[in-house]
Structure 1
């Protein structure tokens, strides 16, 4: 792994931690999770922008496949590894969180997967594209929780955020995702990279199922409340 990648990761962990501490200091009336989600939203936005900037040809954005990672791709992945390390540690201090174990496992698997890509310096296009499709829906996921804490639970605004998140997630994870998994598995990539592609798609399918249940519940609940009114 290149020295500059390690430097980005170390500086990144410090930077994300500092951003959280400043956010926590400025927004003392809001929860620990609220502040952490603001940092997560910032990362998702930066990750999508950086991933977009690595595209060499917008007429064929998913190219070149199965090639050496470019410096831009390595830097983008390093920024995300730094964030994942920060978030994995930060989540351990959230006393309200009930999913620390699941969250830790998810982060460890992601760090190992991206770390493998950085170590081999291969599959940059595939991994940055995976980063793009996983983070493009994240701001809308966090928006749903922001609205709840701000007092907009069960409102039209919250329902709109739910639908927007569900649509973006479904297109990214269940349309682009399967194709990305296919090309990753078809190419002569390291076994660990292929395993990560399968794992990501299985997780996406599971969450897609959960989202369908959530949307059905929201509309059923809304219909019931209107009838009672």
Structure 2
């Protein structure tokens, strides 16, 4: 088994758990979900940064296709697999368990884990990671603002809109393209299946986000508090 799974993933789970404990201790008056979302924002920023650093040729960010993963790509994937395992476990202790979020975590863990096991298609994997995490800071910012008293404000609406635009561009424009090239490259069946699965989950979330934006825009017709 790949050393990145044996060494990096278990250590990563422990480190993300310690990060949550530190945040929880620093924000004792805040909710469990609030603290977990701060850790999630940290992971999203780290994942996007690491994924960007692994790009070998910016004229073709997903190239070379179906090629052996570089050490940095493996490290990037291992960091995120560790985070996803931590977050999946952490979410089980929250008051509200989201079924679609749990499915997304499982699909991502299996897909990225398979990439580590096979040791190939690193370019496609980190590209998928970049596309899925680029909107995450705004996703969590929406909820963080609500808890600190900025619900239904101009600032919260800006966060909602930013998240919707970035998610739609990444998942529904970049996502289908990445799925297409992954399916047409000489990748293992499991990798291709996970690419399709992730895109289907993204499409489902896009539907929910579109409904959210429609509701938010309609609500803007009423007076709201200034941020």
Q: What is the TM-score normalised by the length of structure 2?
A: 0.95
The aligned counterpart of 1:38 is: 38
The aligned counterpart of 2:199 is: 201
Segments of structure 2 that go 5 or more residues without pairing to the other structure are: none
Is contact 2:111–2:195 with CA below 8 Å preserved after alignment?
no
The verdict on how the C-alpha distance between 1:171 and 1:102 changes in structure 2, with shifts beyond 3 A counting, is: closer
Give, in whole Å, the separation in 1 of the partners of 2:174 and 2:106.
Answer: 24
The aligned counterpart of 2:140 is: 142
Residue pairs, 1:79-118, within 5 angstroms: 79-94=79-94, 96-99=95-98, 101-118=99-116
Residue pairs, 1:3-42, within 5 angstroms: 3-42=3-42
Matched position secondary structure for 2:149: coil
Give, in whole Å, the separation in 2 of the partners of 1:106 and 1:170.
Answer: 17
C-alpha displacement at 1:56, in angstroms? 1.0
RMSD: 1.3
For each residue in 1:169-194, what CA deviation from the matched residue of structure 2 results, as whole angstroms up to 9, or x when unmatched? Answer: 01101111111000001112111111
Matched position secondary structure for 1:151: helix
1:76 aligns with 2:76: yes
C-alpha displacement at 1:225, in angstroms? 4.2
Is contact 2:4–2:116 with CA below 8 Å preserved after alignment?
no
| Structure 1 outlier segments of 4+, above 4 Å | none
C-alpha displacement at 1:60, in angstroms? 2.1
Q: Number of residues paired by the alignment?
A: 224
Matched position secondary structure for 1:223: coil
Report which stretch shifted further, 4-13 or 43-52.
Answer: 4-13
C-alpha displacement at 1:210, in angstroms? 1.2
Give, in whole Å, the separation in 1 of the partners of 2:188 and 2:49.
Answer: 27
Give, in whole Å, the separation in 2 of the partners of 1:110 and 1:27.
Answer: 29
Is contact 1:23–1:35 with CA below 8 Å preserved after alignment?
yes
Is contact 1:68–1:122 with CA below 8 Å preserved after alignment?
yes
Report which stretch shifted further, 126-135 or 83-92.
Answer: 83-92
For each residue in 1:128-185, what CA deviation from the matched residue of structure 2 results, as whole angstroms up to 9, or x when unmatched? Answer: 1000000000000000001100111110000000010011101101111111000001
**Partner residue of 1:186 out of 166, 184, 188:** 184
